Amino acid sequence: MNRILIKSPATSANVGPGYDIFAMALKHPHDEIEIILDHSGLVKIEIINDDQNIPTTLNDNTAGLAVLELLKRQQLKQGMTIRIIKQMKSGGGMGTTGASAAAAVFGLDKLLKLNLSMNEMIDIARMGEVASGGSPHADNVAASLLGGFILVKSYHPIDVLKLEMPEFPVVLAAIRKSQRTTRGFITYEIGQEKLKEQMARCSRIIHAIHTKDIQEFGSAFSVDHIAEPVRGASIPEYQSVKKQVIGSGAFGCQISGGGSSVIAVCDPEKVDEVAYIMEQGFANNPYFVKVYKTTTSNQGVQVIG
């Protein structure tokens, strides 16, 4: 076998208070990654349907960087073409870069029969994220690989737990980032009171998943004292849209992953109303792309060809 085609889902990281340790997979959108092995000894990247000027230089592309990491760790020299077939009209914070890195590592593991463990694959794929955000966070790649809800239990060494995620309706406004990453502006110095609330909210999220309680889940994920203050401030309409979304009866609204996309959870019958609020609210934002109506999902990467 010298060719494989992988489907890799969008993911929403942080899930409110769980900065760099929580993420969840979405049913759609997704990207597809095709890997074709050859004897050139060179790794090449091709992007199909690119609307975002995704870099094809290996060190600047999340899939490219992850593959270089895998080849280095396995001490392999293997030529290949990695074709990233974009289906996601991307905003920032939908895990698209992680989806590519995760699929590339998963596909190569299959093609080269490496039998890497899931934690090893996550550890390699997360190195690809350095190309996008400058940091090897594991949350998005883990959710793309495994599906469901991810808790990164440990970064040293990488150890990830997947929880089965109830299928919650999700409305996601895809908004591109106005700058490459806001991570450098985020501080952990949030003070004792906010720190206690942050920890309580993380615990509430886990409990809400175990009890399949979407109301509790939405309420817990709507406040984050670490990333939301920085990322919310970079989206002029964010606070007003969030207020309207919650006011309409949605259970929760938050920045998705690294931003600037915005995610809400609500009852199925509220999905259209929440989507309309987001479409109207972000209509004049030059970085707004589109609104997705989807659900959380337990499906991670899949071989489709």
Q: How far is the CB of 285 from ligand HSE (least distance, A)?
A: 19
Residue 110 or residue 194: which is nearer to ligand HSE going by CB?
194
Q: Which residue's CB is nearer to ligand HSE, number 227 or number 275?
A: 227
Give, rounded to a whole angstrom, the gap between the first and last alpha carbons of the chain: 11
Burial per residue of 171-192, b for 16 or more beta-carbon CB atoms within 10 angstroms, e otherwise: bbbbbbbeeeebbeebeeeeee
- Omega before 100 cis (within 30°)? no
Q: Which residue of the chain is nearest ligand HSE when measured via CB?
A: 257
Number of residues that this document lists for the chain: 305
Residue placing its CB nearer to ligand HSE in the complex, 62 or 78: 62
Enter the DSSP assignment of 180.
Answer: S
* β-strand pairing of 149-155 with 158-163: antiparallel
Half-sphere exposure of 279 (CA within 13 A, CB side): 10
Give the nearer residue to ligand HSE in terms of CB position, either 252 or 258.
258
The helix (run of H) or strand (run of E) holding residue 272 is helix 271-282
Least distance (Å) from ligand HSE to the CB of residue 143? 10
In the complex with ligand HSE, the residue whose CB is nearer, 5 or 206, is 206
How far apart are CB 98 and ligand HSE at their closest, in Å?
7
CA-derived radius of gyration, the chain: 18
Smallest distance from ligand HSE to CB 224, Å: 10
Cα 284 to its chain centre, rounded Å, is: 25
**In terms of CB distance, is 142 or 209 closer to ligand HSE?**
142
Considering the complex, what minimum distance in angstroms separates the CB of residue 129 from ligand HSE? 8
- Give the integer Cα–Cα distance in Å for 7 and 26: 12
**Shortest distance, position 23 Cβ to ligand HSE, whole Å:** 7
Angle between helices 62-74 and 96-111 (to 10 degrees): 30
Taking the least distance from each CB to ligand HSE, the nearer of 172 and 277 is 172
Extract the tokens encoding 257: 């992953």
Give the shortest CB-227-to-ligand HSE separation in angstroms. Answer: 5
Indicate the SS3 state at residue 99.
helix
Positions that interact with ligand HSE (CB under 6 A):
13-14, 19-20, 93, 133, 137, 139-140, 183, 227, 257-258
